Structure 1
Amino acid sequence: MSALIVVHLETATGHVYFLARFSYDGGDPYVVQAEFLDGSDVLARWHFDRQMLTEGLYRPVGEGDVAFRPDKGSGRDELRVEMIGRSADQQGNAVVFVDAPVLRGFLDETYAVVAAGEEFLDLDKLLDEFLAR
């Protein structure tokens, strides 16, 4: 399942709006993939922990490469997503804002596929795939 959601990036001169495709696969129940798009081109692809993404709608969570926190300033209801890239010059760093009600709706759909606490990861299968490489 996936959803296209309009997100925005804050810059020194204002906001830049673009689409992000949030995807979920019950076969990998802990992960929500986000692809940030420019037309059909993928600008960046991140894998977020589904539980952290959900908790970030209500309280600050995360450290290291990614952090989430609610942003309700100026009548907005958004999720602030801080992503730290791996480049030495910090060109990969970004702060993106996602419409919280739309994201909540998407996450509700993911929990209809695999409920919280019902996640299962077949470690034997994962290990077999890893060793086959």
Structure 2
Amino acid sequence: MSCVSALIAVRLDAARGRVPLLARFSYDAEDPYVVQATFFDGPIVLARWHFDRQMLAEGLHRPVGEGDVTFSPHRAAGRDDLRVALRGPGVKMQESAVLFLEAHALTGFLEQTYAVIGVGEEFLDFDKLLDRLLAR
């Protein structure tokens, strides 16, 4: 199987507390460095982000990233989470979000992606990518 996905519970850090959301994390061998995350509130798609798979994995153990996306481990109330800070095109607080994902669920998803393409085995066929882009 060249694609894997998982639904992962997410908590959005909001002024009124942590708001539960759901995210679908998807990985496709055609784009081996990328994990796509689609965030939902019920049936409504709130946002779609593309993350670097290696950064996600490293963020479980140490702070990584800068700019629009940062990941860091977070431990609270006896649970291990991944803290994800997202910043939109502006710098205002209204265009930023902080999310918490259960580390165990994300680790399970990442293990599934490594079964598709292992760490260090990623390869991007630039000729094929260029052909696809030029065909559009």
| Shorter-chain TM-score range | over 0.9
Where does 1:78-117 land on structure 2 (aligned, <5 Å)? 78-87=81-90, 89-117=92-120
Q: Give aligned pairs, total.
A: 133
Task: Give 1 or 2: higher strand fraction.
Answer: 2
Letter in 2 for 1:100: A
Equivalent residue, structure 1, for 2:8: 5
Cα shift at 1:132: 2.9
Query: Matched residues in 1 for 2:92 and 2:122: separation?
Result: 38
Deviation per CA, 1:27-64, whole angstroms, max 9, x where unpaired?
Answer: 11100000000222210000000000000000000001
User: Which ranges in structure 2 are unaligned for 5 or more consecutive residues?
Assistant: none
**Equivalent residue, structure 2, for 1:44:** 47
Give the Cα separation in 1 of the matches to 2:13 and 2:39: 14
Give the TM-score of the pair, scaled to structure 2: 0.92
Aligned residue identity for 1:28? D
- RMSD between superposed Cα atoms in Å: 1.2
Give 1:88 shift: 5.8
For residue 71 of structure 1, what is the aligned residue in structure 2? 74
Gaps of 5+ in 1: none
Aligned mates of 1:70, 1:88 — CA distance in 2: 23
- Residue correspondence of structure 1 range 21-36 to structure 2 within 5 A: 21-36=24-39
TM-score (norm 1): 0.94
**Partner Cα separation in structure 1 for residue 59 and residue 91 of structure 2:** 27
Cα deviation per residue 1:65-120 (whole Å; 9 max; x = unaligned)? 10000001231200000000114644331000000001000000100110001101
- Large movers: runs of 4+ above 4 Å: none
